[in-house]
Structure 1
Amino acid sequence: MAEILPIVLIVVLILLTIILSVVGVQIVLTLIEVRKTLTRVNGVLDEWEDKLDALSSPLKNFSGLVGGLQTGFKMFESFVGWLGQDKTDRK
């Protein structure tokens, strides 16, 4: 009985070493795949960011145009009001 115990322990130790080595290799391969996937996702997100920037840039320019038109209309209204005041002052 005493002679078989060390042999069983050595066999179990060898099996555990093999199993843990295989699991370690699988973990490394999985992490490599995760890295590749995250790289692809990052590329897709970068492309979407560029497309959204290209789409939002004209909208920003349009809002600037609208702001300029509002300022122009306010100036025109002020000018017309000034002309109206000038005419009422003359009477």
Structure 2
Amino acid sequence: MAEQDVRKDIINRLRTIKGHIQGIEKMVEENKQCDDILVQIAAIKSSIEKVGMIIVEDHAKSCLFKEQVSPEEAEKVIKSIIKFMK
């Protein structure tokens, strides 16, 4: 996927997440059932993880697949990936 397409996909996903968060806020204000709220929170968590994975994948591709990657650059990318995965 081209860099611009990746950025557009991420922005669309983040806007969707923002809408879900606003929906949860409304659910709390309306005193909806906890189970329903937790289902929405789980969906948001999954969406955030997906956005993170897209960013990690794009970052790794752009940094690690260059011809001249220094060990320091590679280590920095790997540390970022590990930090995200925790």
TM-score clears 0.5: no
Structure possessing the higher radius of gyration over alpha carbons: 1
Q: What's the TM-score once normalised by structure 1's chain length?
A: 0.38
Q: What's the TM-score once normalised by structure 2's chain length?
A: 0.40
